[in-house]
A and B are shown apart, each in its own frame.
Chain A
Amino acid sequence: MAIEGDLAQMGAFLGAGLASVGMGGAAIGVGNVVGNYLSGALRNPAAAAGQTATMFIGIAFAEALGIFSFLVALLLMFAV
């Protein structure tokens, strides 16, 4: 039981670590959203203020998928 349990736990931990890599994708996505917003805002600063809310919505959507990988990691760590 001990060895199998350890093996299963090791697998779960490895999986959790791998799932965390997915959050890097979310980070890239969020960076993309903000970077594009900023480059647009610098070109047309007058229109920037009105689009801040849209940027945050975009960030939230990009982040949502990273949250799933976080969720998977949590589930592997604590629930499996």
Chain B
Amino acid sequence: MAIESDAVEQELELAIHPMDQFLVKPLFGGGHGDIGMFTITNATLWLGITVLCAIALMVLGTRGRAIVPSRSQSIAEVIYVFIYKMVEDITGKDGLKYFPYIFSLFIFILVANVVGLLPASFTTTSHIAVTATLALIVFVAVTVLGFVKNGTAFLSLFWVSAAPLALRPILALIEVISYFVRPVSHSIRLAGNMMAGHAVIKVFAGFAVVTFISPAAIGAIVAIYALETLVVCIQAYVFTILTCVYLKDALHPSH
């Protein structure tokens, strides 16, 4: 990805490494070495920062328990009501049992995304390992829940009774395939959006080295940063709403 240095005049090196920001490195021991399962890495650091921010917002922010809320408390309340409404609207009353997990999921993704937007930070949710784990937890939990709650009636999810009989096997095949690619699209949507946005910012940051296009490059960074701020929140929302939709399919499989 680096342009050869002889192509660029002077000592100026137009070296763009947009993917370097996603490198997982051990925090201690000079930044090299093997990464074992329990090694403290920059990913660990930023996951920890995410946890601290989430706790600061949701626990410290609400410690006043005021009837007339303070600023941080009203942010926490708005998020609470927003997710509560979403779960209630999409999955119905019986889905509210799973509200704490869905809320944790949302607050984790939201805070991790926002924290990842800080300059020089590490975006944990841009890693497929992270998002795939999140999506697989949802997928496995929803599938197990579907069979536990509905027994084999859960399979009626794939048998579209509204369609003509001749089409149903084909539709069933399509439904099964689309069911099993759910975790793939669920996870890659989040990771891809995070990775692409951060990489684009980095590419423009690389162009900013060149004097005569640097104003345009910096303007582009600002614009894309604004867009990313929006995307970051929407992706957290989309991940959560899709979790709710999958949960609804498990609780009420009939179309």
Residues in A lying within 8 Å of B, measured CB to CB: 53, 56-57, 59-60, 63-64, 67-68, 70-71
Contacts and interface: CB of A to CB of B under 8 A. Distances in A.
Interface stretch (B26-34, B38-46, B183-191): B183-191
Interface of B: 86, 89-90, 181, 184-185, 188-189, 192, 234, 237-238, 241-242, 245
Given A53-B89, A57-B242, 15 more contacts: A53-B90, A56-B234, A60-B185, A60-B241, A63-B185, A64-B181, A64-B185, A67-B184, A67-B188, A67-B189, A68-B184, A68-B185, A70-B188, A70-B192, A71-B188
B188 A56 contact: no
Contacts, number: 34
A64 B189 CA distance: 7
Given A64-B181, A68-B181, A57 B188 contact: no
Given A64-B181, A68-B181, A71-B184, A56 B189 contact: no
Chain B at the A interface: SS class: helix
A28 to B, nearest CB: 17
A57 B189 contact: no
A60 B189 contact: yes
